[in-house]
Amino acid sequence: MPSFTHLLCAGLAASLVAAAPTPSRVSDAVKRSSSTCTFTSASKASESKADCSTIILSGIEVPAGETLDLTDLTEGTEVIFSGTTTFGYEEWDGPLIEISGKKITVTAEDDAVINGDGSRWWDGEGTNGGKTKPKFFYAHSLDESTISGLTIKNTPVQVFSIESDYLTIKDVTIDNSDGDDEGGHNTDGFDIGESTYITITGAVVKNQDDCVAINSGENIYFSGGTCSGGHGLSIGSVGGRSDNTVKNVTFTSSTVSDSENGIRIKTVYDATGSVTDVTFSDITLSGITDYGVVIEQDYENGSPTGDPSNGITIKDVTIDGITGTVESDAVEVYILCGDDSCSDWTWKDVDLTGGKTSSKCENVPSGASC
Ligand SMILES: *[C@@H]1O[C@H](CO)[C@@H](O)[C@H](O)[C@H]1NC(C)=O
């Protein structure tokens, strides 16, 4: 088996020998049931992924301009990161890692690190210009699956792009804090779109953009998060995409520190869509430089204009237990709604101190205060 000499595929080797006289279909079933494959090369992992029920990625150096491609894994495959995973340098769009399949389990050994070494790309411009920077981790069609225990360092730009159903992400640490001084930008932790039943618990995110940003999706739950250095917990911007519905989202029991915003909902001016059934509860803020709580309907070309529209409704919003401090030149609460587009809000225990009161709020729904 010359093509397998580079990998340790003990179960596969044994079962190939045992199953040699039987039809290949049977031997396929036998070999998958027990094959743990340890790969030290990204291309070999991609080539042979279908033969392994457990894939150990051991100290992989992904070549420049290539994706660690674990797409279309066989149902039930387990992927384990081991050692340090690194990536060669090239200006391209990425992603550097992509995993898809059903009932996939992605974990890491305790000391494993996935190190993007993003400073090679960082130029303070993120995705707005300068070098073309690869996206990091696509979890697209990674359904009924779990990612847990990953430690990720210094990604070039955005970290997780999530487009999946029933995906749980547990105890993942993203430490892009080197980017604070070295030009990290648009390093969003978790970007979620066109997804349902996404649960993220115990995330630690140190970055320079949204900790979480939900552009569309339903039944999304974020709990026990520790976000710092970035732009806070965000819904939006919603509008102008193929899916403009956000429904049943909870952010709870989390902290946001040293960030531009605490919690935020932003929608696009003159677009249509809906944001419904959203809860932010038990969120502690500190060191917020722009807004503690911000809900605004005036985004155009990625920036707020101060002029809201009402084509996207923001309904059934609960803001409960948002406490802590903002910086002295930050605004504690800012609400800029279109005419009648914000309704049925529950607002309690919003207790932020240290900053300014906004004089620019518009169409604040009853119950809320600005
Ligand atoms: C809302 O989302 C949560 C979290 O995914 C889920 O458990 C719950 O069933 C959803 N509620 C409704 C009414 O769909």
Domain of 83: which CATH number? 2.160.20.10
What pLDDT, on the 0 to 100 scale, is given for residue 33?
Answer: 56
Q: Whose CA is nearest to atom 1 of ligand 1?
A: 219
What pLDDT, on the 0 to 100 scale, is given for residue 264?
Answer: 98
Residue whose pair of structure tokens reads 């974020």 in the numeric block: 222
**Pocket mutation for ligand 1, best pick of 196, 218, 248, 251 (most atoms within 8 Å of C-beta):** 248
Q: Is residue 370 part of a domain?
A: no
Distance 279 CA to ligand 1 centre (A): 12
Q: Whose CA is nearest to atom 13 of ligand 1?
A: 248
Q: What backbone torsions phi and psi does residue 148 show, to the nearest 5 degrees? A: -145, 150
- Taking only the tens place, the pLDDT of each residue in 313-353 is 999 999 999 999 999 999 999 999 999 999 999 999 999 99
Q: Does the pLDDT of residue 62 top 50, yes or no?
A: yes
Cβ of 248 below 6 Å from ligand 1: yes
Q: Is residue 221 part of a domain?
A: yes
Q: Is residue 92 part of a domain?
A: yes
**Pocket mutation for ligand 1, best pick of 165, 219, 279 (most atoms within 8 Å of C-beta):** 219
pTM: predicted TM-score of the whole model, two decimal places:
0.92
- Taking only the tens place, the pLDDT of each residue in 164-220 is 999 999 999 999 999 999 999 999 999 999 999 999 999 999 999 999 999 999 999
Structure confidence at residue 83 as a pLDDT band (50, 70, 90): very high
- Provide the greatest CA pair distance for the chain: 81
> Total structural domains in the chain?
1
Q: Is residue 285 part of a domain?
A: yes
User: What is the pLDDT averaged over residues 232-236?
Assistant: 98
Q: Is residue 202 part of a domain?
A: yes
Distance separating alpha carbons of residues 229 and 204, to the nearest angstrom: 11
Q: Does the pLDDT of residue 11 top 50, yes or no?
A: no
User: What is the pLDDT averaged over residues 69-82?
Assistant: 98
- Taking only the tens place, the pLDDT of each residue in 264-311 is 999 999 999 999 999 999 999 999 999 999 999 999 999 999 999 999
Residue 126 Rama label (left phi>0; alpha psi -120 to 50; beta): left
Q: Whose CA is nearest to atom 10 of ligand 1?
A: 219
Distance separating alpha carbons of residues 53 and 73, to the nearest angstrom: 9
**Active site residues per annotation:** 231
User: What is the pLDDT averaged over residues 345-363?
Assistant: 98
- Please report how many Cα atoms fall inside a 13 Å half-sphere around the Cα of residue 292, on the Cβ side: 29
- Taking only the tens place, the pLDDT of each residue in 122-153 is 999 999 999 999 999 999 999 999 999 999 99
Q: Is residue 226 part of a domain?
A: yes
Cβ of 221 below 6 Å from ligand 1: yes
Angle (deg, nearest 10), helices 24-33 and 10-19: 150
Q: Is residue 365 part of a domain?
A: no
Q: Using omega within 30 degrees of 0 as the cis cutoff, is the peptide bond preceding 237 cis?
A: yes
Domain that holds residue 294: 58-353
Q: Whose CA is nearest to atom 2 of ligand 1?
A: 219
Q: What is the rounded radius of gyration, in angstroms, for the C-alpha atoms of the chain?
A: 23
Atom of ligand 1 nearest to the CA of 219: 2
What pLDDT, on the 0 to 100 scale, is given for residue 95?
Answer: 99
Q: Is residue 366 part of a domain?
A: no
Distance 220 CA to ligand 1 centre (A): 7
Distance separating alpha carbons of residues 4 and 134, to the nearest angstrom: 31
